[in-house]
Chain A
């Protein structure tokens, strides 16, 4: 292993700080949805699971990451900045007029973004199309898609799950960021889609259920998934929304904390809480 779990953990901490700074500077956005996804995104971009060239974002042989839960894009911008697509400083223009760091991923304005998302439910279908296209071209590239757990309410996800079961792209990996919340409450109360892994398994997918906020578990799950080449793979990544600063959000009385930035004072506390 080229990179150690400790190094990934340090990277994840950086990402968390960028996410908080970015969204607080923007005065809007979805930091808690971004924070739950950090370990998986860190493992993808820095754990050696994805080949990509920041200086040549359209490199045909690259692996692709689609953030289907597009509102968590601060996590993606943070990873891309750390990977060298642009500076961390540039991402601080998030959501400002004229900035390419839009509130949701926009591939037409930013090379390296693999799908324009923000209308939940479409990313897995797009990823399936890409996986089939790459397979047709006999390219050894993999497509990773991340959805939310609330996002699974969308019927299109299941159209894609079934179709992937039919076409069996061995180069498609879905990560479900199961953070337990969606916009108006806990997923178990709004629309309980569990058991998630069983549903994908029923469509012929390889499935795993892991602690997605454990960096070592995230790494191990991706190692297993990327070694499966004969069918699509699903990682149910059990996480916590706002992971990393949970005690602070708990003190605020909102463990979902959906779609709101931290105040400047809270952000400062959060960054101190994360430590160096």
Chain B
């Protein structure tokens, strides 16, 4: 079983793999792109680039703080510096470096966090990035992208490299359903409506978009018309799409593989509360650390599945 299967979607590559392949391909066209990694290139998937372009690649060892500031120095010399680690090590271990060396001087650094969410499974909570989006969003001027499938991840990687300035890209370890056709349109900050609906809008990103589509499929059977928005950019968030959804569907459910505080749910709620206040519900990891286990077992246990989304929708339907 995988999210999206119920809705007839095919299983595709993990977003980390799509990022790695796209990075290598784009690297050939863009000599200004350099990569700094901290001994996890074969996990974050910067490895294909690093093998193809060794002179532009720097493995600094298990030293995330140094990695981020080195990327900043490279960026200040005109490079497009990509650095990556597990989302939690990148954001938590090197947060001050992201703040001082990257965000504050507005450096052209793209920081990519893999192993996001609890769906990494067996390795357990020490490796799970579930606070990363909140931390990244707190950095002034930093854009935050959480792509939902392999196709979108490739497009997001290209868009990110084409844009000047600091950007956080969050990728995942598990294979995810293909939601988009090749060559689909992708713009940073522009949400994508996957399903139209009139009773409720489910706003999701990352792995949970396919789960939201499945939830909408289930809800349709019960006569509930759910709109699904892929909010791949958490910052700057697509306010227009949120306001439109609030106005037209009157109810919003926000779904993410992240802690409850400071993620997509908080960002959407901030927009809704000051524009078109409507009932909202949230599906997320809550306020806790998860545990080791098989990915699907964890997602079910921590309430990150279509059934949980359906239940949240019912809670706002009253």
Interface residues of A (CB under 8 A from B): 60, 106-108, 114-119, 121-122, 125-134, 136-137, 155-156, 159-160, 162-163, 166-167
Q: Are B78 and A133 in contact (CB under 8 A)?
A: yes
Q: Are A116 and B104 in contact (CB under 8 A)?
A: yes
* List of B residues within 8 angstroms of A108 by Cβ: 104-106
Q: Are B60 and A107 in contact (CB under 8 A)?
A: no
Tell me which of A126, A136, A156, A166 contacts B76 (CB under 8 A).
A126
Given A122-B100, A136-B55, A162-B61: A130 in contact with B77 (beta carbons within 8 A): yes
A-B contact count (CB 8 A): 110
* List of B residues within 8 angstroms of A163 by Cβ: 58, 60-61, 63, 66, 70
* List of A residues within 8 angstroms of B77 by Cβ: 129-130, 133-134, 136-137
Q: Is B261 an interface residue (CB 8 A)?
A: no
Question: Interface size of B by Cβ–Cβ distance < 8 Å?
Answer: 31
Smallest CB-CB separation from A60: which chain B residue?
Answer: B78
B76 to chain A, nearest CB (A): 6
Smallest CB-CB separation from A137: which chain B residue?
Answer: B77
**Distance of A122 Cα from B81 Cα, bound (Å):** 17
Given A122-B100, A132-B70: A159 in contact with B63 (beta carbons within 8 A): yes
Q: Are B76 and A114 in contact (CB under 8 A)?
A: yes
Given A122-B97, A125-B101, A132-B58: A115 in contact with B74 (beta carbons within 8 A): no
Can you list 28 A-B contacts with CB-CB less than 8 angstroms, sorted by A residue number? Answer: A60-B78, A115-B73, A115-B76, A115-B105, A116-B100, A118-B100, A119-B96, A119-B100, A122-B96, A122-B97, A125-B65, A128-B73, A129-B69, A129-B70, A129-B74, A130-B74, A132-B58, A132-B70, A132-B73, A133-B74, A136-B34, A137-B77, A159-B61, A159-B66, A162-B63, A163-B61, A163-B70, A167-B58
Q: Which of B28-85 contact A (CB under 8 A)?
A: 34, 36, 55-56, 58, 60-61, 63, 65-66, 68-79, 81
